[in-house]
């Protein structure tokens, strides 16, 4: 989970698993608390559905406090629907859940140097698009819409934000002053390496996962960054000529809360 301000100033607010684990550091192979154990009697799909219900209720159904005490809520949740065995399940959950306007299925697409980049696609009627992401119109009436995004582009974006110095515009930071606390998170974020590849007159970074390395929290952080773009957050050098609703950024909400407190009674 992440909070964002104008200019892509980012803050990792929290991360973990559902159900939660007792240990601060673990690998996927070592998980003791699993979705199946948290939903006795349910099959694989039922256990996943129940886990999604618990997680979205815990995250969306509450206020989050900023440093100055302002109450914030989550604007956008993306759920990875790329795993073929659960694609339909995720889309059904997003359609049936208590927060259909907030929750949306997502598909990261591999767009290599030889692929057609997102900005070269012609928008179809009813399609929405942003910085290397687009929301196609539903193929069937009543089916939840999904967002597709250029996974390579957004993985590079995340690493550039993490490499940005504290205090500079567009820095993505974590909480606390104890790096060891974020050891597992750091291993996930560095589980993939970029390879610069040229083709069709352009050069891109294609990301490759290291064998045996867990990258799940990296995928989650990439999804959070795409969600921020969907809500109107953009780098100054990227910009966007399309009209957007005013983004409800972390900084903007904090400033609004301060103005309310300072306003005369």
Identify the sign of the CA torsion 208, 217, 7, 171.
negative
**Which two structure tokens, joined as six digits, stand for 244?**
């957007």
Residues 171-229: pLDDT tens digits? Answer: 999 998 888 999 999 999 999 999 999 998 999 999 999 999 999 999 999 999 999 99
Q: How confident is the model at residue 236 (pLDDT cuts 50, 70, 90)?
A: confident
Reported pTM = 0.86
User: Do 121 and 135 meet the contact criterion of CB atoms below 8 Å apart?
Assistant: no
């Amino acid at each position: 989970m992440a909070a964002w301000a104008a200019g892509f100033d980012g803050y990792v607010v929290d991360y973990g698993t559902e159900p939660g684990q007792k240990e601060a550091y673990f690998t996927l192979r070592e998980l003791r608390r699993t979705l199946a154990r948290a939903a006795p009697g349910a099959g694989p799909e039922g256990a996943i559905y129940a886990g999604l219900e618990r997680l979205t209720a815990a995250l969306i159904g509450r206020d989050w406090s900023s440093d100055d005490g302002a109450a914030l809520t989550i604007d956008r949740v993306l759920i990875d629907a790329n795993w073929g065995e659960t694609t339909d399940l995720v889309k059904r959950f997003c359609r049936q859940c208590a927060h259909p306007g907030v929750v949306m299925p997502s598909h990261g697409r591999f767009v290599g140097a030889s692929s057609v980049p997102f900005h070269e696609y012609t928008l179809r009627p009813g399609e929405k698009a942003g910085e290397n992401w687009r929301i196609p119109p539903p193929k069937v009436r009543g089916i939840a819409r999904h967002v597709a995004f250029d996974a390579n582009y957004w993985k590079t974006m995340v690493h550039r934000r993490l490499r940005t110095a504290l205090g500079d515009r567009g820095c993505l930071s974590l909480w606390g002053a104890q790096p060891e606390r974020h050891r597992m998170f750091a291993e996930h974020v560095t589980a993939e390496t970029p390879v610069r590849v040229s083709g069709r007159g352009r050069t891109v970074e294609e990301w490759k996962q290291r064998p045996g390395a867990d990258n799940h929290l990296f995928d989650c952080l990439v999804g959070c960054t795409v969600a921020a773009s969907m809500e109107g957050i953009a780098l100054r050098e990227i910009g966007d000529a399309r009209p957007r609703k005013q983004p409800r950024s972390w900084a903007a909400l904090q400033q609004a809360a301060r103005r309310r407190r300072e306003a005369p009674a």
